[in-house]
Amino acid sequence: MGSRLVEQLRERGDEPVPLVRERADRTVPAGSARWDTETGELDRDALGEIDAVVHLAGENVAAGRWSDARKQRIRDSRGPVTTALCRTLAALEPRPRVLVSASAIGIYGDRGDEVLHEDSTLGQGFLADVAREWEAGTEGAAAAGIRVVNLRIGLVMDPSGGALGKMLLPFKLGVGGRLGSGSQWMSWITRNDLVRAIAFAIDRDRVAGPVLGVAPNPVTNLQFTKTLGRVLRRRSDPSRGRCAG
């Protein structure tokens, strides 16, 4: 996401400054600024005067088994990191006018067929708790007068990576299929549309608080499975929960 967003911002004439997470063996590329995620401190000389901040950092929730240690890393990489960053942003002079901070639709929990929107009550469970802490971490920026957008992102679809990138190979091999009953809803968005949504949030002063980063029409996992099988020219077999070549 970050690299595509930087490309898009440059194409429209902005001057993005990527933040590089602090590490002793890491060289910071020209045009970037060092960022200590534990303290929230930024290399202000390299950063310069900034108008907007986009915060997308966080441990990948889909990269492996959720051991207790990994769940703690997922949690620590969101709420505490966001809180530290916002403390630094609040102390900048001048402050950025807007912070677009990633969140996730997991904040609603598992609600079955209920239609959810930005004003819906929040859910229960690990992901809901993590997302709640994630959004709470931006309160320091909002209190300092920075316009905060909490972008609640769904499944990001792009062939080069993300959820779709992981699904393509098994489906192409004819062994991809639905998950369980296939009745669970998938709220999705393409990577390019998400980049456009971030740029929109930066530009529109009236946009603040929770915003859903999803396409308008979710699909069930079974619908998604059938569609992906058809696009890849694999027959979908709902009774087996897989695609046949």
What CATH number has the domain bearing residue 126? Answer: 3.40.50.720
205-210: average pLDDT: 97
Comparing CA positions, the residue from 56, 60, 62, 57 lying closest to residue 74 is 60
- Classify residue 240 by burial, with Cβ atoms within 10 Å: 0-12, 13-18, 19+: exposed
Tokens 């004003």 correspond to 119
Question: Where residue 242 falls among pLDDT bands split at 50, 70, 90?
Answer: very low
Tokens 């897989």 correspond to 242
The better pLDDT of the pair 147, 232 is held by 147
User: What is the average pLDDT value for the chain, to the nearest integer?
Assistant: 85
87-103: average pLDDT: 96
Nearest-angstrom CA–CA distance, 16 and 3? 10
Q: Is the model's pLDDT at 5 over the cut of 90?
A: yes
Report the pLDDT value the prediction gives residue 74, as an integer from 0 to 100. 92
- Collect all residues with Cβ–Cβ distance below 8 Å to 3 and sequence separation of at least 6: none
pLDDT tens per residue across span 165-198 = 666 655 555 545 656 566 788 898 999 999 999 9
125-143: average pLDDT: 96
Both tokens of 65, joined, read 């088994």
Report the pLDDT value the prediction gives residue 45, as an integer from 0 to 100. 87
Tokens 């694999």 correspond to 234
Report the pLDDT value the prediction gives residue 238, as an integer from 0 to 100. 47
Boundaries of domain holding 159: 2-244
Number of domains in the chain: 1
The better pLDDT of the pair 208, 180 is held by 208
